[in-house]
Structures are given as structure tokens and as C-alpha cells.
Structure 1
């Protein structure tokens, strides 16, 4: 696999005016394996938030979920989707097991190309992120240009950060996992610290999986490896991170279905149905990154990093679709041959300084971020069609279309500058976050130069945290913005053909409360998000009969909601956790008849409840999780509605020692009742078929 290392540096000369009373920045330390989590062990209480540094969840005026390594292990999560589906308020817009994983948070999409890796966009694997390279997954709900900048794909529903493995613990682990139908995966994970003061760290992990799973006859093969090296002292920390991933698929794919032509929704078929047995696809990625921080003074820290990633895919990765034509379930297929190769380069440079002004503490951050995306991909995907039935799949023999031609479709630069001031007073009982990010966008499409444009925008943010009754409870409010690339109209029949709109500003207002006492953790948030968009509508030009539509801005989608999460011990041996979300997402401003309608794919109510009980046998526990998802609309006219559904998952875990080796056995059954259901909605109006009952077994040996 081709590997490329690019070196990029940024230079800056900012300074901090230090007040007469200075304070020290936190000491640079290696995070231990015992980092605090909630009582379930699945949610970390702290998260790394780029320019804001590592912050306690109770001190942050946003909704954050930081899923731990234990959360990944306990759920037998192969990919990031398997981790995030434990939160029913995070919707998936592609099927479970699909080679691409796209999400919807608070009513707005977060697509795979906008997954953030270790704080940087463009560095994550293409399509889907395997958990084999991860130590945790951080989700920051809602737009947040201050923390992450503008996502290059325009996602504003939230920020999903994949955190790669680091040598934060001594470890020698061998794992094996098995799913029914014959999928097997095994690997190793080794971490060590060296030196008189344990200043050198190294972690190496690799995994290989192969076999049939997801749908009948589908064969997957996956390979991944990750390495994390660090040198850490009280003065400095340097990290070198690298990964390589490779996915190959033959013999099928999960499918999504349209009922637009039929005009009504039929009952869902078996989740293991394979309608596309001749499909194949492959994708791969590799990455290397260097990051570090150095204390110039006791109260002044230099931060820098650079990285490069190459991502490739080819085959039937997109458009695994069926269009139902009658009540019997007959359907026409839509699937395409696609190809892409892109190389992304990122770099950042910043300063963090701490000082006091009287009784007020300040931590000021100044940072520059750079991302270049160089993309070669198909201009027109090759299409193959055939007829099948959603209840009785046909055994068709159509071969896939020819490999599509590719050309350079993007050479985009994203440059931003951020300034923040984290203010605290009254023994940290009153905290403020003030900040802004200036984003400069330079979009170049060599294939279609008329779509090239440059734009810039400032995104301000403000947050407040109050702890009026001690450290156990915090109340907060925040205003943040997200930024997405302005759309270019590319349609000769449109009156505004060739017009590029200014970048869209998405605004979020949020208030909430977080309570932590004993084993219990409660989080409550209420929010409103306003996202501007464009819309195309019918138009007649008396001077040009070829013009039939016009694309305009001024359209807005709004999302209002309430989220509640909790975890704690009912009794010593019984843990409960859960989350509930109410969301009202609608087309708020539009010149068409859909104004006031609910956004497609948005259930009004979702809920999840989990329990874990420690049995009298030492090391043995059983668990169960129920998930409820309300009905969803399949089109923006709200005339096609998917029924609600409830899923039940059960599992068991047994920790013991075999011959001096700490051993953990895990067994899970997802969708115990083998519920047949339409899981969600892809944003073009296709519903995804939910997964069938799945048995999972796993064992890990810690030497």
C-alpha cells in the first residue's frame, strides 16, 4: 500500500500580555488507564476539545459523549457506527454494515468524509472507521466551528472525533471475535512505557477479520494496524500516530429502499436479505501524523501538529438501492460503480497562555489550522439495473458496469484562525468561554472551473458554566455557530446557473444542567438550531424557454429538542443507564408547500435503557439494552411514514484468570426478537433496512 509523508509547517508570532499575577498551565502527563468514567465504564468524564484543551464534561457548556475503550469492547463494535448506535438520538442514515457510515445528529447530517481524527478533519479512514484503531470516540452534539472548524463536507449536526490508540497503559492483549454466519476477527494490542520516568511510550495493534456476515452470502475481509509513539515529560509531549486500513467486500451489500413510486410503505422484509449478490467494493486508507506541545514558560505553551492521509475506494459503495413498484414488493435496482483517490494534508500551530487579572483566571488560546484536499474521482458513476423483489430476492447475473474514468475534482484549501479566552472566577464556580474562528475557504475544481470560489467568514461562540451549589452540579448556556460551504448552482436549466452562494452559518442556542453525585451522572440539555439552505423551485423565464427552475437561498431548517441522559447504581450490583431525546425538526422557511413539515428521517422521540447485573459468581455479569425509535417520515411532504420500532439486545461478560492470564469472555445477541423494521432514512428519501438478529462472541487474553 502506497504511503506518503508530507511535511508542512506554519509560522506565527503571536504574544500574550501577562498580568502581574501569573498562573501555571497544567502539567503534561500521560493519561492512565484508570481515567475516570461514569459507573458503566462506557462514558469518559473528560474530553480533548482542540483549542479548549482537555475539559471535564461538567465544565463544558456543550453536550458531549466521550465513549471509552470499554464501550467499544462491550458492544463488540467493529466500526464507529456500532459504538454510536447505543445512543438512539444519533441516527444512522446508511445501513448497519454498509461500507459507508453516515450519521444524523439533532436533525442534521454528519457524513463519513467529515469524521474528525485526533482533532483534525480529512485524516480519518474513508467510508467507515474501524474501532480496531481507536481508544475512544468523542461526540460533540450540534455545530461547533470554534472547537473543530468548518467540516470540509459541510456537516453541521455535530462533531465526531475518532481518537486513535496511545500508550496510556501497560498492555499485552490478544483478542478473538466471532459472529454467526462465520465472520471471525482476531488481533493483538501491545503497549509499553520505557525510560527512568516512563517518558517513552509505544503502542502497536493489528487486526484481521474475514467471513460472511451482515446479509446472507456477503463476504467481508478487513485488515487494520495502528501505531502510537510518544515522548512525554513535564516540559513537553510529542506524539507520532499512524494507521493503515483495508476493506474488501464481495457478494452483496445491505440495501436501502424507495417507496416514492409506489406511494405507500410496505412491511419490512428479513434484515439478512441480500438483493445485490454480485456487488463488490474495496476501500483503503493510510495516515501518519505528528503532534506535540512544549512549555516555553510555566504559563505559556506551544502546540503544533501535521499529518497526511491517503484514501481510496472503488466498486459498488454507493447507491445500493431498490425502488419498489407494486404491492407485491417488486423493485428496480439502482447501483453504481464508483472510484476515488484523495490525499489530504493538515497542519496546526498555536499558543496557550495562562494568567490572572486580579481574582479572574484566564487561559487564552491562539491557533492556526490548515487543510488541503486533493481529490480525484469519477465524474459519472457507471450504472447497472435489474429487477428483484424485496421479499423474494432474484438470483440475477448482471455483471457490474465498467470502471468509471476519474479526474481531479477538487484542490481545496481550508485555513482558519481561532482565538479563545477561558475565564474562571469564584473558585471556578463561574466560568466563561469566549471565542471566534475566522475561516478562509478556497475551492478549486479543475474539471469545472466555473465552480471555483473563495470566501471567508468569522464564527463567534460564547458559553457560560455556573456551579451555584458546589462541584456536583453545573448549569450552562452557550451560543455556537457552524459553517458549511456555499452551494454552486450547476444546472443549465436553472435561472441562477453558475451562481455560488456565500457560506451558510448554522446557529445553535443551548441551555442545560449536569449533575454528578456518588455513582450517578445526569445530563439535561435543551437546544435550538437554525440552518440556512438553498431550494430549487419551478420558474418561467419569458426570454428563455429552456429555463425551468430557479435556485435561491433564504430557506431555513430548524431543530428544537430536549435530551436527557443518566447512569448510576440502583443497588451495588445493579447498574442502569439510559437516554431520551425529543426532537422537533421542520422546514421552517421555504416558498414551497412543505413549510412546517417534519424533516425526513427525524423521529420525534427516541429512548434507550440499559441494565447490567453482577451475578453472585465472581466476575460474571449479564446485561440488556432496549431501544425505541418513533415513526419517521420518508419524504418532505410527510405522506410516507415509517412505523416506530423497539429493539432488544442482551449480553453477558465473564472476567476470570486462566493459568495466570486475565481473561474476559463476552457474548451478545443483538435484536433478540429478530425484529423486521425500517431503521432510518438516507437523505435522498430511501429507507434503510434494519439488521436481523446477530450473535456475537468474543474473548480477550491480557498477558
Structure 2
């Protein structure tokens, strides 16, 4: 940014004990002149813009347009860095993105829902559908970790054209994985979460010429603040990259294993009298549900992305990712509050599922001019294939009744029925082709982005007999 200082600014400078004036020469250097030079009446000061002390990045991934300066695009985006995540001591995506006033967590905390769900500008967005890893959607699990994330991009608004039919109306998120820095990365940390969840985390990275490797790991285990609750988390990631002037390739391998038991889950008011006053919540760290309720998952993700600059201003990109996630509730109690006294009915069931997901995209980007108009063109296609298998709901032979407000009045842990086979439940395939062009005039002071995309979505659902 530039300021032109005249008049009063010159007078202020003249009050200095060793007054000098600065004038930019034709070669761009700064020339010093004595204060009595009458031919110097203008000072031009050029400054480098600094944003958020490194906590807010100036770059974000804008779908098919790739990484762009957030101030050079007409979209509402924000990008939060790993430094911001560390300063916030955030352990989940929810704790990061809720710093954006446009984003709100639907269920509020760990264990409250099987899937991390947000409202972006009032529209629902789920982690399994609307979170990408290095630009690839459809790979993220129910409650993604962030220990391997260098940058969280938040895109607010519809993005079907940019992302290929997977983006919700409210917006999407993108994880940019960590890469080894030139100076190397060395970090070992310990953590303490109430009530007694202890943890450690490691982050090591090193470059060997054009090749870099980054390893992260997190382990947490202990009792939570809610009476009887426990939490265990084991995450690890490996990020590899190789870069030359014309070719870049990066690969990421992510492992996540999380299980929690006894947290506050949802309470149904379906059987609660409509004329009764709104029920009061349980107090403080007291639990309203049985402490044997538990849920967890194991997730494995692998991605690779390559970029080749085959000519000046022309780059080809290809990416592929695969993920496998399994998990569920070993016992879940649908807590239904029946009256103001706290009478509660608990219908117990189990549920298990697993997903196998593939995601890929290819594109070519290039720049050229036609007369006074510049063009930044991109064309390509994307592919997402998701196969879901589940056990169906596993009912327990009996239901339980207890008092919601009396923590001592909780049913004992039931005998779990034999887990049924996990069978094919759904298939979903998304294919798309796109072309886009950002046109600019007056040295790109005025730009407009136009484009078209064709997307085909095919969804099949199966019953327990395997019939569509």
C-alpha cells in the first residue's frame, strides 16, 4: 500500500533532530536529501501488508480455481493457519471454525452427535460431505482431527460449480496438509484436558533438497469432565512432497482412532407434554444418560496430488484419494424425557457402519490474452465414489426407565447382542466436467469469472436383503 505525504507531513519531518527526506529514484531506490532541498515536495512510502500475525493466511483453495489470494476473488473466504490452531489450543474442527461468526456447530461438542455438523450462514453442512483434504471431497470421516492440518479454508456460500456438486448451500471447508519447512520442524507437546485426559503430540519435519517429509502424532486418554465419561484418541499422519521448478507431487497418509463413552448426548422431547414448562437441564458435570453409552470410529485416508507446468503459464494437475472408515455405537440409548419430574425412557440399540470412498480430479490451467482481455482458463473433471455398508439398527431386548435428574438412578450396562453382519447399504457416484475462465481488463483491475459444469449424481440404496 502507498501513501503520499504532503504539506503538514513535511513540516512534521522537519522537526526531527536529524531531518532527512526520502525520494524514490527511477531505479526504485530511495535517495536521501537534506532538509533544505526545495525541489522535493513528495514522499512515497511503500509497506508490506501483514495479516493476522501469521494466524490468517492470505491464500485459500477456491475449488477448481486452485489456491488464490482471498482478496483477488469475488467469494467470501477465510483461511486459518496452524499457528492460529495452536494459539487457540484447538483439538477439533469445531473449535477452529467457530471463530468465524458465520459458522456455528449444531451439536456443540464431542460426543453429542455421530457426525460433526455445522450451520454456515444458517444452512447445514456435514463433515462427511463438505470437508475436503487437499481439494478432494468425500474422504473425511465423521469427526475429523486437525493435527495434520496446516491451514483450514472456509468457503461461505454455494460452491457446486467450484467443487462439483458436493458443496452445501452454506459453504465448505478444505484442509491443507502440513509440509516440511526449509528450516525443519521439531515439536513435542503435552496436554491436559479436564477431568484427567492426558495427552502428548509430536510434529517432526525435514527437507532433503527437493524432498520433504512431515510426521505428526497425537495420543490422548483419560476421564472427561462429565461424570463417568472417558475419551481416547490416537492419530498419526505422514506427509511427503517433492518439488522442482516445473513439477510438484505430494502424498498424505492419515490414521485416526477415536472412542468416547458417557458424554452428553441428545435428549428427545417427543413424549414430553406440550403444555408443561420447558425442562431444566442436568447440573454441571452430572450426566443425564447412562455412562456405558459409547461411540467411536477408525479412519484411514490416503491422498496424492501432482502438478506439472508443461509450458509457460500452463499447468496440468491430477489428484486421487481413498479412505476407509469403520465405527458406530456399541450401545446407544435414545433418551426420551417424559415429564417435568425427570421420568425418562431409554431404548437401547447398537449400530455399526463402514465406508469406502474414492475421490479424484484432473484439470488443466492456463493463461493467455485476446487483445485487451486476459484469460485464466481451467478445464477438467472430477469423480467421487462412495460405498456405505451398515449393520442396521441392532435392538436390545428391553427398554429402561430411570430419573433423568438423579444420577444414581441409572440402568446397569445390558448384555450386548451378537453384532450382525455389515451389509451393503448405499452407493453414490458423482462425476462432473467443467470449464471456467477468469477474464480481466485494465491490468486485471476488473475481473469476471464465468464457467459451466455438468454433474451427474447416481445414488442407490439397498435393504438388508441386498435389494435396491
- Structures share fold, TM-score greater than 0.5: yes
Matches within 5 A, 1:144-223: 144-151=159-166, 155-168=168-181, 170-195=184-209, 199-223=210-234
Cα drift, residue 97 of structure 1: 1.2
Distance 1:156 1:382 in 2: 35
Q: Is the contact between residue 410 and residue 443 of structure 1 (CA under 8 Å) also seen in structure 2? A: yes
TM-score (norm 1): 0.55
- Report the CA distance shift for 1:339/1:350 in structure 2 as closer, same or farther (over 3 A): same
The aligned counterpart of 1:253 is: 263
Residue 43 to residue 388, structure 1, CA distance change in 2 (3 Å) = farther
Could you say if the C-alpha distance between residues 448 and 111 of structure 1 is closer, same or farther in structure 2, counting changes exceeding 3 Å? same
Q: CA deviation at 1:305?
A: 1.0
Q: Which segment drifts farther, 174-183 or 87-96?
A: 87-96
For the residue of structure 1 that corresponds to 2:463, the secondary structure is coil
Task: Show the counterpart of 2:312.
Answer: 298
Deviation at 1:380, TM superposition (A): 2.9
Question: Which runs of structure 2 are paired with 1:418-429 in the superposition (5 Å)?
Answer: 418-429=434-445
Shift in alpha-carbon separation, 1:428–1:70, aligned structure 2, 3 A: same
| 1:407-438 C-alpha deviation (Å, 9 max, x unpaired) | 10123221111111012222222111112221
Match of 2:246 among 215, 229, 235: 235
Query: Secondary structure of 2:218's match?
Result: strand
Matched, 1:265 2:259: no
Deviations 1:209-259 (A, max 9, x none): 111125222111111111111111220110111111111234x12222233
Match of 1:367 among 365, 372, 380: 380
More divergent stretch after superposition (296-305 vs 36-45): 36-45
Match of 2:338 among 325, 330, 334: 325
For the pair 1:442 / 2:458, whether they are aligned, the reply is yes
Q: Which residue of 1 aligns with 2:126?
A: 111
Which whole-Å deviations, capped at 9, do the CAs of 1:78-99 have from their partners, x for residues lacking one?
A: 1111112223432212240125
Q: Would the aligned equivalents of 1:420 and 1:434 in 2 still touch at CA under 8 Å? A: yes
C-alpha deviation, 1:36, in angstroms? 8.1
Distance 1:72 1:338 in 2: 33
Total equivalences in the alignment: 410
Q: What is the SS of the residue equivalent to 2:64?
A: helix
1:90 to 98, 103, 126: 103
Q: What does 1:475-554 correspond to in 2, within 5 Å?
A: none
Q: Structure 2: how far apart are the matches of 1:225 and 1:420?
A: 37
Q: Tell whether the 8 Å contact from 2:251 to 2:303 is kept in structure 1 after alignment.
A: yes
**CA displacement 1:157-188 (0-9 Å, x = unmatched):** 21122222222452111111111211011121
1:307 and 1:419 map into 2 onto residues whose CA distance is 22
Shift of 1:203: 0.6
Deviations 1:513-554 (A, max 9, x none): xxxxxxxxxxxxxxxxxxxxxxxxxxxxxxxxxxxxxxxxxx
Higher RCO (CA-CA < 8 Å; seq separation 6+): 1
In the other structure, the counterpart of 2:21 is none
| Contact 1:336–1:401 (8 Å) recurs in 2 | no
TM-score (norm 2): 0.82
Query: Is 176-185 or 90-99 further displaced after alignment?
Result: 90-99
Q: How does 1:305-384 map to 2 (within 5 A)?
A: 305-316=319-330, 321-382=334-395
**Partners of 2:269 and 2:101 in 1: how far apart?**
24
8 Å CA contact 2:352, 2:392 repeated in 1:
no
CA shift, 1:148, in A, is 1.5
- Cα deviations by residue, 1:305-362 (Å, 9 ceiling, x for unpaired): 1111111003258x66432221223322355311011111112111111101122211
1 CA distance for matches of 2:97 and 2:257? Answer: 22
Q: 1:273 to 1:167 in 2, by over 3 A?
A: same
User: CA 1:49–1:314 in 2, change beyond 3 Å: closer, same or farther?
Assistant: same
Alignment correspondent of 1:542 = none
SS at match of 2:147: helix
Q: 1: CA distance between counterparts of 2:378 and 2:415?
A: 52
SS in 2 for 1:86: coil
Structure 2: segments with no counterpart, 5+ residues: 1-47
1:78 pairs with 77, 85, 91, which one?
Answer: 91
The CA RMSD measured in Å over matched residues stands at 2.4
Q: For 2:143, which of 118, 128, 147 is the aligned residue?
A: 128
Deviation at 1:390, TM superposition (A): 3.7
Work out the CA distance in 1 between the residues paired with 2:467 and 2:380: 30
Larger radius of gyration: 2
- 8 Å CA contact 2:350, 2:393 repeated in 1: no
CA change 1:42–1:267 in 2 (3 A) is farther
CA distance in 2, matches of 1:401, 1:111: 30
Question: Aligned equivalents of 1:336 and 1:65: distance in 2?
Answer: 41
Q: Distance in 2 between matches of 1:342 and 1:174?
A: 33
Q: Which whole-Å CA distance do the structure 2 matches of 1:338 and 1:445 have between them?
A: 17
Distance 2:278 2:132 in 1: 36
| Alpha-carbon distance change, 271 to 63 in structure 1, aligned in 2, over 3 angstroms | farther
